[in-house]
Amino acid sequence: MSYNRLAGETSPYLRQHADNPVHWWPWCSAALETARREDLPILLSVGYAACHWCHVMAHESFEDAETAALMNAHFINIKVDREERPDIDRHYMQALRMMGEQGGWPLTMFLTPDGHPFWGGTYFPPRPMYGRPSFRQVLAEIARLWKEDREKLLSNAKSLTSALQARSRGGSMETGSSIHPEFPHRAAQAIGSLYDPTFGGMDAAPKFPQWPVLELLLKAGDAPERARVLKTLRAMCSGGIYDHLDGGLARYSTDERWLVPHFEKMLYDNAQFISLLARAWLLTGDDLFRIRTEETIDFLQRRLLVPDAGFASSLDADSEGEEGRYYVWSWKELNEIVSPENRDLFFRTYGITRRGNWEGRIILNRLDTPDLLTEEEETTLARERARLLLHREKRIPPARDDKIIASWNGLAITALAEAALVFDRDDWAELAKATFHAVRGILADGSGLRQSWLEKPSKTPATADGPACMISAATALYGMTMDQEYLEQARAWQQDMEERYLTDSVYAFTAKDVKDAAFVQIFAEDEATPNHNARMARNLIHLAHVTGREDMTARADAILKRFTQDMLENPVAHAAMISALHDRHAGMALTLIHAEDSRETEDSRETRKLLDPVLTKIRDIPPILHRRDSREEQLAEEYPALLLCKGTTCSIPVTDPEQVEAALSIIGGQQA
């Protein structure tokens, strides 16, 4: 009889393990109570559906009857999807790092029956290798120590728990001077100096996009920092990390050149990629950034859009049990598929050689030919890419995790709204609006949101990044559409954040009504996505502009002040918070003034004429307030009119596009 309890879960990752011979529990109070009652340690395994090494460990260990027997005999086994419970994942990942171990997934942690960690690691092989003991050796030794030397394990648990408690309420509660408004500029210069001058990005290998850092450099840096961002983006647009046949960016590059990806594709990466591409195009007018924006949005629609729900979380790295199999090519295949008359052009452009560029196989890339060719040549290349894509689609594709996550969809909706505004694309605007309404419809939980949805909502409320990102989406949609519904929804979710997440002037990661959270977690570090407190500081700054509520500015100031020391000590890890600080003191904001009796679409073309020169001269996509000018106020003599603001300094109403540059110069908002 199997005691595996995962079959009824909403997580595809948990369902992947529903047939394991392991007696898995989901994370729940019943599992913890069983561990206490049976006086057994907990084996906690955390991963996600697109994780390559999670699949490897599952096949090698969790599907193995003998290994499962050891687990079942000596442990209460709990499986967690890090995307459904990022709070659980983060807590125990912190513990692992405090042990001096490098983080990663699968996360394998051993806990006391009360849930306190005492030892752990990531991937463990079935036999001793890579300098690691086998998983069975680990199980046997932990089981022995629990029986024979429990005090040693409990002492470890006590030390780790004390350290975790000390770090669980981040930031400084001490009063002091606020951080200098010029700090974002200085931080951008310092961080920019760490960038690889040859290939872009930070560090050597592996290379992650580090989206919050790129945004900070673009927003608060000078010309050298912006040049480093553009070099990095061009490398990602040209490298194998980008799918040149189907669009979309992989999670990271395993090498310093951005050639060899870790092949999983995540929604959050592609959403932030779109946002940065739109800003890069505004800065340069480079068609490469426009084309990659179009291709990436097409990828989202074609491969990740779940009808009437939102965007799915990810595409797996593996297919047919092998990482990258779906994406790579042999010399023989490419010679057979690419048209003979175009073979030389295509092979030169995409770095194709007989010896290959990855383990004897070929990853398509344009690292040696990053610049766009002639229109005729690019049209020819597009035809050949379409031929290859048709052939590739005959392969068994990577699995898709159809889980709809609130925070990641919020990032995607915001990116779509920004791209629609920048490129004046009504179709992207409609996609953003439809996705917003679909996500709100399936994840609404009273005044707040659930974490995720797959056929039904997940059991727990969203972690704070969920409503934070959806508030950003609602604000972006309001600025794009003039529709007050979005502004009202943003304010409603903001109020829910105040009531359910606000703790000591900042926002805890987990809602107060979540009873099985490990600790109250207050922090400002970014991960693959911007930190929720940073996102909320930015939301509050934007909402203060569009609502006129000074208390929102005060709330944003309190967040920035709480994490001042964190920003000073580790700017790279707190890039999104530093960006919010930049928004507070130097960010641009726009007010579009319409006639009192105008319809929403009546003056859209004239409004666009005013917006275009602003968007191409400033570094960011600012919050937009729409106001209808009553006869009593008479803010402008002609309509539409535009007020440009930087910090607390605003221009006079601008009604002629020719006046925009002069107005920006006066308030100090012109692109340097």
Mean pLDDT for all residues in the chain: 93
Residue 590 and residue 644 in contact, taking contact as beta carbons nearer than 8 Å: yes
Name every residue whose Cβ is closer than 8 Å to that of residue 27 and which is 6 or more positions away in sequence.
78, 80, 85, 88, 516
Residues facing 629 on adjacent strands:
595
> What confidence score (pLDDT) does residue 672 get?
46
Q: What angle do CA 358, 359, 360 make, to 5 degrees?
A: 90
Task: Give dist(CA 186, CA 449) in Å, integer.
Answer: 37
Residue 62 and residue 54 in contact, taking contact as beta carbons nearer than 8 Å: no
- Secondary structure (H, E, C), 390-411: HHHCCCCCCCEECCEEHHHHHH
Q: What angle do CA 643, 644, 645 make, to 5 degrees?
A: 120
> What confidence score (pLDDT) does residue 574 get?
98
- Tally of CA atoms within 13 A in the half-sphere of 670 that contains its CB: 11
Q: What angle do CA 38, 39, 45 make, to 5 degrees?
A: 90
The verdict on pTM exceeding 0.85 is: yes
Residues facing 452 on adjacent strands:
405
Task: Label the pairing between strands 588-595 and 641-646.
Answer: antiparallel
Domains of the chain, residue spans? 12-167, 174-197+403-584, 207-401, 590-667
Q: 3-state class of 18 per DSSP?
A: coil
Q: How many Cβ atoms are within 10 Å of 322's Cβ, its own excluded? A: 12
> What confidence score (pLDDT) does residue 435 get?
98
Tokens representing residue 263 in the block? 């092949």
Tokens representing residue 443 in the block? 């994840």
Residue 187 and residue 216 in contact, taking contact as beta carbons nearer than 8 Å: yes
Residue 448 and residue 470 in contact, taking contact as beta carbons nearer than 8 Å: no
| Nearest to 584, CA basis, from 183, 198, 137 | 183
Give residue-wise pLDDT tens across range 442-457.
999 999 999 999 999 9
Q: E strands, 27-95, where?
A: 42-47, 76-81
Looking at domain 12-167, its CATH superfamily turns out to be Glutaredoxin (3.40.30.10)
> What confidence score (pLDDT) does residue 598 get?
63
In this prediction, the residues of the chain whose per-residue pLDDT falls under 50 are 1, 175, 672
Q: What angle do CA 323, 327, 329 make, to 5 degrees?
A: 110
Q: Which CATH architecture does the domain made up of 174-197+403-584 adopt?
A: Alpha/alpha barrel (1.50)
